[in-house]
A and B are shown apart, each in its own frame.
Chain A
Amino acid sequence: MIQVLLEERCVKCNLCVNICPTNVFEKRKGEVPVISRQDDCQTCYMCELYCPVDALYVAPNADEAVEISEQELLTTGLVGSYRTNMGWQKGQKPVAAQDPAYKFYLPSGV
């Protein structure tokens, strides 16, 4: 579930509000958005992927909220890791161009 929104990183672009398929975030005038419907989160990680400044962290736990402190989180190096792994960070190329699925698990096209 979406767990952390790092307010000091957030640039208030509200992209997460726009792109969340289950409408978890709420826009606020002049302020950073808030996670207002955490229970509706389907743990699809799309908000993290779209966040241009790595201000969001989705915990992998789908059924329950698991508290994690911002400080603790920042030491893990996990914030923004999905975006990096997909090649969506600024200056990166999409990793889809290196997708090796054809080499090993889709050999016969299934």
Chain B
Amino acid sequence: MSVLRAEPEGAEPRERFDALSWLTTTDHKRIGILYVCTSLFYLCVAGGIAILIRTQLSRPENTFVGAHAYNQLFTLHGTAMIFLMVTPFAFGLANFLIPLQIGAPDMAFPRLNALSFWLFLCGGLVVFSGVLTSGGAAAAGWTAYAPLSVLRVAGGSGQDLWIVGVLMVSIATILTSINFITTVFIYRAPGMTMWRIPIFTWEMVATSLLVLVAFPSLTADLAMLLIDRHLGGHFFDPAGGGNPILYQHLFWFFGHPEVYVMILPYFGVISEIVPVFSRKPIFGYTGLVLAAFAIAGLSMGVWAHHMFTTGAVSNPFFSAVSFLIAVPTGIKFFNWIGTMWGGSISFETPMLFSIGFLINFLIGGITGVMLASPPIDFDAHDSYFVVAHMHYVLGGGSLFAIFAAMFFWWPKMFGVKLDEVLGRWTFWLMLVGFNVTFFPMHLLGLAGMPRRVFTYPDAGPLPLLNAISSSGSYLMLVAIVIFAINVVVTARRRVPVPADPWRANSLEWATSSPPPEYNFLKIPPIRSERPVFDARHPELAAETAR
């Protein structure tokens, strides 16, 4: 048991906040925390924007915000949530966890790691700096389709600042992926074979590989957009021999893998949390790993399922491959259920949010399979049905997993345990609020409400469904406020946290909470994907080794 008391004798907690050390740090744990805090900041910004959007849409023909302001709002909401919140949070979590989970002292390239964070931070600020320009921020949607995004009237310098800001964030993401893959390949501790690394780390390897092949397509597309906007290019202009469809191909070749970049890490989070609170090993470890790479690989071949209504792509090819992706995703679902099956399940907040993930993501997955069928897309594309689908997987899925991850790893990161009672309030308000906000959107799409509209006619069920949806969003706001209160209240309590407060499995729980700068004083023997569990239960060593 002594191996788990990793606190060196006489260690002093850091007393005063030293800003300069945070600006010059290359410690993966601090960089991870910087990412997490920055993405939570953007969650508040983009979430606040969402409240404004839902307020405008709460009544038909509302005048809370005008069309141009609204177009900037949904553009920034999508951009911030996708580029500045969901992915950076995952990368921050991975930054903190990967070296700990594989028994390494830091990432392979610490300064590159720090560079990635600061590029991300600066890039996000550049994107939002568009708000300060006379024409306003970018207003062509997070997808910035050409020819709309080429038009100067659709956004002047705001659109250009959006382009260069997103380019900076893309480069940061690519650099971090290089770091992750190298670290996992090279810096594993003795005995930590690839088939013993935690599922979260495996998911991050798959995610990083996806980033490497997908993001360059975006950077090329945005560079071509800049050339069309300012250097007399005609890549996307039919009058000059170009083709708007080219923009869409390059965008979605990035865009589809991007959504898997936004979910695979969170599949990893669920795969870490469910075994701990079911008191059983993860079921089907090999299947989960193979499924992750099947999803990643297939996701490179489905991009034009976002283009089914253009009439310019082979619908059958993309439909077939899109259906195939449902199979490995289903395998993961069954493996999580298999983990809970025959277990001893308790319902601490991380587990509540993980169960919420399963409930919500299933709906998102089912509507995703529906949307893979072009005949369904012919009605649902560009309607609120798609808005519902994407929010169920990203909000109901990734966001719930973000909360699960925060409640689970907060003690390890900050040496503070979040309050369980406030956590339960957050969970239930979030679960109800989320479903009240987004379930009606399926019906709104079927009733004929398109996406990206600042208002809608006072007809049919649109006013009622929109009012219900907006009320749900205010519930979500309350949930987030309660979470913020939780953070502040527990930060002041200063109750010390042991190395392994959850009786968990992977290597990060073998060191103090928070870990010392060098990560591990002593690493326990690694004979399976649960070295900390094995150290707690030496009597099971023979049957649990991998």
Q: Answer yes or no: do A and B interact.
A: no
